Structure 1
Amino acid sequence: MSVFATDGKVEEKIDELPPSAKLVFKVLEYNRQMTQKEISEETRLSVRTVRYALNRLTEEGIVEQVPCLTDGRQTLYDLNDDLGDEQDAETDAETEIAD
């Protein structure tokens, strides 16, 4: 079961990504805000591979960078919360059309 609600469009984007990006997505889906190093340790992927995966996920709008409030030198990565909002808006629009 998915903790993060995704619509078909997002799932299509994820399906087209390399396995490393899919793994990073799943780790962020369950752990939420993490640094590159934390993701690397959790997935056992190299930092370079994690960086590539995060860049791909960011380009697709699936992941966003969040400033770390406790350490301004670090960047946290989190799933884009707007993805769930887009799904809700599309569902509402489809319901209105059906009525």
Structure 2
Amino acid sequence: MPETDGDDLSDLPPSAKLVFKVLEYDGPLTQKGIVEESMLSARTVRYALERLEGVGVVEEDVYFADARQNLYEIDLTDCDGDCETAASAD
């Protein structure tokens, strides 16, 4: 039986799954954009992004329009194909 360390998208809280879906549908967004689209608080979005980055499914880039902000997008290179199914299995 393979060991699981809890670093799977299906093990994340619902807020992280919602942020993942927002990024999946709306593409790269700033944290403020994710807050507006998801209607979650800024603190909750920040926590969800930290969890998603920890799992390796979200990538952070510099937002060139305003260098004080970061642009977040889905990074499926480390996902092995089960990110979409894990996010919808809630």
The TM-score bracket by the shorter chain reads 0.7 to 0.9
Cα RMSD, aligned residues only: 1.6
TM-score by length of 2: 0.76
TM-score by length of 1: 0.69
Aligned to 1:68: 63
Which one has the bigger helix percentage?
1
Aligned to 2:84: none
**Structure number, greater radius of gyration:** 1
DSSP-derived class of the 1:21 partner: helix
Gaps (5+ residues) in structure 1?
1-11, 88-99
Moved over 6 A (4+): none
Identity %: 52
Aligned to 1:43: 38
Gaps (5+ residues) in structure 2?
1-6, 82-90
2:47 counterpart (29, 52, 55): 52
